[in-house]
Structure 1
């Protein structure tokens, strides 16, 4: 599965930066599509921020009290300030953006919003969402003190950036309960997208989740549209093909990928292509260790049979034996409502039962084959 679309001469990052820098000063209605938010969360947010909201969904609806939330491409801070109210004083919200003008807008009202809320649980950091290890403000400080005047200086600056990624990452490994993003992933250039999904996976805690709203297309975006700076910065040219958007999360290691919301009517069309907003949720697996098969599950239906992300077919009404760690995962969202959970089922302890759903947690076939070890499918 390829995350990349055809290359062109367009400088994607410059096109996005310039348009959103301007949009931080002057609201632009054409950027992404209108979204309705719960008005009770908007009352404490200044109008400057509300007027410069360029999203296509509301992933903040899917965060919970006490969580640590990371907003990728946080812009003026609207989703962060909504999420701050949901997670409460015990929670924490981090917004990441690389656009100075948008960061300035978001930070301008941090104190005001915190005072109105009664606690201060939001911060904004400068970084690229496809490189969440590099703290760009720390790097900028170093470059001011150590200007780049030669190729040797540039190499030393690059070495310093790499050291920052290791010693002081912008977002640490396994540190976030939920990653949200609102119409931003499509703005990342195609060659960085595999790293983008890997970074989302890296920063999430085991069992954490990504809730992403973005624009998807009904088919591949043709080359001539990809080369249009206005269409790319307008969330069109870089749109993921809908089916590949979901597969991208699976390929990065996520499980339980599901569509939470999908526009029925397209936001816009260009020729036969339809572009619409989609919100999905995907989970980072808990670590699974070898243990005895002591539990079981039964698929409730309504389908006669389903195939899991783990390449196991579940037949409605049939019992399947699982390990303790896997059972704990299935007892959580998004699986639990689909299954009858049978803790401490009368299962023979020892070798894995032939019907086990989780002999392996590999989420994609190994290169060169689709069969599991020891199977007779090939």
Structure 2
């Protein structure tokens, strides 16, 4: 068997194992063996909480993500959700983009797609829309072209604890880059491991199904992003993940975090230089302050010195209309340290949410 055929065979087996785990072995969130499904301790903005409260309970009970993948400034956007599962995040986003926006969920698991599609009409009526603005398609996120996802069609791509389940993560990021418009964003939560996992543990189906077997080293994400053409990933937040006793006995001393990053596909001629950026307000839910990432939070009307990449991002994305930009005064030098390491942030954040008894109590 050729190396190519062997790789395809391994990928196919991994897909089958993951589909079996999430389609047959897990019936709801309580069956997970890590705290990855736990929500952040810091409450989400009211408009997101309100949207979540309107999502059907049957959808929410089958949530297997590791964060809340809802960036700011979504009105009228076209959004693609990779590995949409039961559709929880898609329905939240459906509400937030409004009737003129559009949300597409893609998943490879028939059981998950059946659940997500079942409640399209329910949420259309619940949100007061005249017609659905969300739909779900079957496909593999390493090959979105096969699922007929066209080039440069989306403003935002989100993913919630799914890329760690994919055997070819670089292929996923390449596909995201292809389908994003110039200025578009990938905003995603995923699991990262502190050191390379042993080959023995990588073959453990439970370890793979829980997302640990395929968890990236965070520096690999930065390397992939650079090779593909994304701007350097911007860390938004992270926290440590804990395991229940069954999984802890298997995994041992490996450490994992759930981290959210944002990546942007900037045009080749994007203007990148240190500058002063002033947030003008106006983004729904963030009228007074917009926390962009772990390093920069913009208060309305206040000038903040930003690095070259962030200047390019804010000036060539959907955020451009909400900011004013000014050159730096002569001799102005910023000594701000940029945090990119999710373990460093989690250590300082001291936020760890535990779900030790996964069979008896759902993660919060």
TM range (shorter): 0.5 to 0.7
Q: Is the 8 A contact 1:176 1:203 kept in 2?
A: yes
Aligned counterpart for 2:157 among listed residues 157, 179, 193:
179
Q: Which has the higher contact order (CA 8 A, sep 6+)?
A: 2
Q: Is the 8 A contact 2:37 2:63 kept in 1?
A: no
Q: Is 1:286 the equivalent of 2:267?
A: yes
Equivalent residues in 2 for 1:30-109 (5 A)? 30=33, 32-36=36-40, 38-62=48-72, 64-109=74-119
Equivalenced residue count is 276
Q: Is the 8 A contact 2:276 2:326 kept in 1?
A: no
1:238 and 1:297 mapped to 2: Cα distance? 36
Change (3 A) 1:112 1:187: same
1:271 and 1:183 mapped to 2: Cα distance? 21
Aligned counterpart for 1:267 among listed residues 233, 242, 265:
242
SS at match of 2:15: helix
Shift of 1:249: 1.9
Shift of 1:65: 0.8
Q: Is the 8 A contact 1:177 1:204 kept in 2?
A: yes
Equivalent residues in 2 for 1:338-353 (5 A)? 341-342=326-327
1:311 is aligned to none
SS at match of 1:30: coil
Gaps (5+ residues) in structure 2?
1-6, 278-304, 330-364
1:98 and 1:62 mapped to 2: Cα distance? 28
1:106 and 1:185 mapped to 2: Cα distance? 20
Aligned counterpart for 1:193 among listed residues 147, 157, 169:
169
2:143 and 2:93 mapped to 1: Cα distance? 23
Change (3 A) 1:202 1:331: same
Residue by residue over 1:229-284, the C-alpha shift from the partner in whole angstroms, topping out at 9 and shown as x without a partner, is 01101111110012212332222210042000111x34346333211100000100
2:220 and 2:174 mapped to 1: Cα distance? 16
Shift of 1:298: 4.2
1:63 and 1:261 mapped to 2: Cα distance? 18
1:124 is aligned to 136
The structure having more radius of gyration, on CA atoms, is 1
2:232 and 2:169 mapped to 1: Cα distance? 20
1:62 and 1:29 mapped to 2: Cα distance? 29
Residue by residue over 1:277-308, the C-alpha shift from the partner in whole angstroms, topping out at 9 and shown as x without a partner, is 0000010011439xxxxx9944569xxxxxxx
Gaps (5+ residues) in structure 1?
1-6, 136-169, 290-294, 302-316, 321-325, 346-378
2:203 is aligned to 227
Q: Is the 8 A contact 1:206 1:287 kept in 2?
A: no
Shift of 1:13: 1.4
2:216 and 2:58 mapped to 1: Cα distance? 30
SS at match of 1:60: coil
1:331 is aligned to 315
1:112 and 1:274 mapped to 2: Cα distance? 40
TM-score by length of 1: 0.65
Aligned counterpart for 1:113 among listed residues 104, 119, 123:
123
Residue by residue over 1:150-188, the C-alpha shift from the partner in whole angstroms, topping out at 9 and shown as x without a partner, is xxxxxxxxxxxxxxxxxxxx2110000000000000101
Change (3 A) 1:116 1:24: farther
2:171 and 2:52 mapped to 1: Cα distance? 34
1:351 is aligned to none
TM-score by length of 2: 0.67
Change (3 A) 1:117 1:23: farther
SS at match of 1:237: coil
1:125 and 1:131 mapped to 2: Cα distance? 13
Q: Is the 8 A contact 2:183 2:316 kept in 1?
A: no
2:253 and 2:105 mapped to 1: Cα distance? 36
1:13 is aligned to 15
Q: Is the 8 A contact 1:186 1:238 kept in 2?
A: yes
1:44 and 1:296 mapped to 2: Cα distance? 41
